[in-house]
């Protein structure tokens, strides 16, 4: 056995998976063999969930039944919503509110006592979690804005229903399609930190709620989630200061400041998800007759390319464009990471289901570097 230290487990293989394929050198991403470009533009988020959880794309009849079952679980118990409202009025962070609310859900789950080895029950619990997260997040944001939460709209899909519950207006086709696409792009991405955290918890045969809560906790860290919020804050800073985007980026680099939304642990070229969202930003900008964010982001990207960052393997990631897309959809900046969690919960659940089919407790070791053979001195003699 090698004793070579791999900080952050970088490059260490700990599992086999059929869920996500990532080629960081070529900029490719696929779910169960399907290219992300095809799934994002031709499949709904519900279809992608079915693919991740069941291993194949659904027939139309299977999708209709799956979507109906998912929609039927959207309502959240009054006690949970009351807690969410209290957190909203207290000024809580949305990710804290989401983590707290999800931790309450098993109290009201009729299968809360199901054995973790019962993967069919785990899948049903995962469906409930996935269905209820949008309701929780929309209620939180509406209450803190002094508005009443809205009941889910049964005639809208997963993406459209969230936008309706959040804004109070039924989204147009462009908005609903764009948000659905964004959810698909964020649904899964290999053994990232939050997915691995979920799997570690699941490997103890804890319930799926514990795994999702762990994923939310990992995603709340600034080194994993939150970069699209940073990008949006950068764009707003540029706009409010009246600075030319290229001048801002030049000054930031001279000051040693990091450009948010740039670079990725895996991709050495432009993130394929960024390519797709850039095009959606162009479509939204044209539809809304507002190209400000598009102009800023493309100017910065062109400048950084001229500076040779692409040759260094530093390119735009998915966050560089997702924030601008969400802003066009009327989504508050501090809701971006919770939305990431909403989309990625489907991936967390898929990895738990996959791993627990052949479970082994994840138990790495650390190299001890402290002292040895230290003589103990009783407390009265110290």
Residue 255 included in any domain:
yes
Per the residue annotation, which of 188, 207, 319, 327 is the catalytic one?
Answer: 319
Distance, CA of 20 to CA of 79 (rounded, Å): 37
Active site residue 319: yes
Within its chain, how far is the Cα of 47 from the centroid? Answer: 18
Residue 309 tokens, joined? 């960052």
> Is 47 contained in some domain?
no
Contact 76, 128 (CB under 8 A): no
Is residue 302 one of the residues assigned to a domain? yes
List, in order, residues 6 or more apart from 208 with CB less than 8 Å away: 116, 122, 125, 126, 129, 202, 349, 352
The whole domain housing 309 covers: 227-328
Q: What percent of the chain has pLDDT over 90?
A: 83
175, 163, 176, 159: which is closest to 45 by C-alpha? 159
Which of 137, 148, 54 minimizes the C-alpha distance to 92? 137
Determine how many CB atoms are found less than 10 A away from the CB of residue 81: 19
The number of distinct structural domains making up the chain is: 1
351 is an active site residue: no
CATH number of domain containing 262: 1.10.230.10
Burial of 298 (0-12, 13-18, 19+ CB in 10 A): middle
Residue 23, beta-bridge partner list: 28
Q: What is the pLDDT of residue 1?
A: 52
Put simply, whether the predicted model's pTM sits higher than 0.75 gets the answer: yes
For residue 149, is it within any domain? Answer: no
- The whole-number average pLDDT for the span 255-259 is 89
Neighbours of 254 (CB within 10 A): 8
Q: Is residue 163 part of a domain?
A: no
Which pLDDT value is given to residue 265?
82
- Cα angle: 54, vertex 37, 73; to 5 degrees: 40
If one compares 36 and 365, the residue with the highest pLDDT of the two is: 36
In a domain, 79, yes or no: no
> CA nearest 122: which of 101, 106, 134?
106
Q: Please give the structure tokens belonging to residue 162.
A: 């969230």
pLDDT in tens, 278-295: 999 999 999 889 999 999
Residue 2, pLDDT above cutoff 80: no
Q: What percent of the chain has pLDDT over 70?
A: 99
Residue 34: its H or E element: strand 34-35
Asked if residue 157 is part of any domain, the answer here is no
Rounded mean pLDDT, 116-132: 96
Domain assignment of residue 11, yes or no: no
How many other C-beta atoms are found inside a 10 Å radius of the C-beta of residue 256? Answer: 6
Average pLDDT over residues 235-250: 93
Catalytic, out of 109, 188, 189, 264: 264
How far apart CA 279 and CA 259 sit, in angstroms, is 21
| Tokens matching residue 88 | 């909203």
């Amino acid at each position: 056995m090698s004793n070579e230290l791999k900080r952050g487990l970088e490059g260490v293989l700990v599992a086999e998976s059929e869920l996500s394929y990532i080629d960081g050198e070529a900029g490719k991403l696929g779910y169960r063999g399907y290219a992300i470009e095809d799934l994002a533009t031709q499949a709904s988020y519900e279809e992608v969930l079915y693919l991740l959880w069941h291993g194949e794309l659904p027939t139309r009849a299977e999708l209709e039944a799956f979507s109906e079952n998912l929609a039927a679980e959207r309502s959240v118990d009054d006690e949970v919503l009351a807690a969410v409202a209290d957190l909203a009025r207290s000024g809580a962070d949305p990710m804290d509110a989401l983590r707290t609310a999800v931790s309450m859900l098993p109290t009201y789950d009729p299968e809360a006592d199901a054995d973790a080895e019962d993967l069919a029950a785990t899948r049903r619990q995962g469906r409930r979690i996935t269905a209820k997260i949008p309701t929780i997040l929309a209620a939180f944001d509406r209450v803190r804005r002094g508005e009443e939460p809205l009941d889910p709209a049964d005639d809208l899909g997963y993406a459209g229903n969230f936008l309706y519950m959040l804004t109070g207006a039924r989204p147009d086709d462009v908005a609903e399609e764009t948000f659905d696409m964004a959810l698909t792009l964020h649904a899964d991405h290999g053994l990232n930190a939050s997915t691995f955290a979920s799997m570690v918890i699941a490997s103890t045969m804890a319930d799926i709620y514990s795994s999702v809560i762990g994923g939310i906790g990992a995603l709340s860290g600034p080194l994993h989630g939150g970069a699209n919020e940073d990008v949006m804050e950068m764009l707003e800073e540029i706009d409010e200061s009246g600075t030319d985007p290229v001048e801002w980026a030049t000054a930031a680099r001279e000051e040693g400041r990091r450009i948010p939304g740039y670079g990725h642990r895996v991709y050495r070229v432009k993130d394929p998800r960024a390519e797709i969202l850039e095009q959606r930003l162009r479509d939204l900008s044209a539809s809304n007759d507002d190209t400000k964010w598009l102009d800023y982001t493309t100017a910065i990207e062109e400048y950084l390319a001229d500076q040779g960052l692409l040759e260094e393997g530093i390119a735009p990631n998915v966050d560089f464009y997702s924030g601008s897309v969400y802003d066009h959809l009327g989504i508050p900046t501090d809701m971006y990471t919770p939305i990431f969690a909403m989309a990625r919960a489907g991936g967390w659940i898929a990895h738990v289901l996959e791993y627990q089919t052949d479970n082994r407790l994840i138990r790495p070791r650390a190299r001890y570097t402290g002292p040895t053979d230290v003589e103990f001195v009783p407390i009265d003699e110290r």
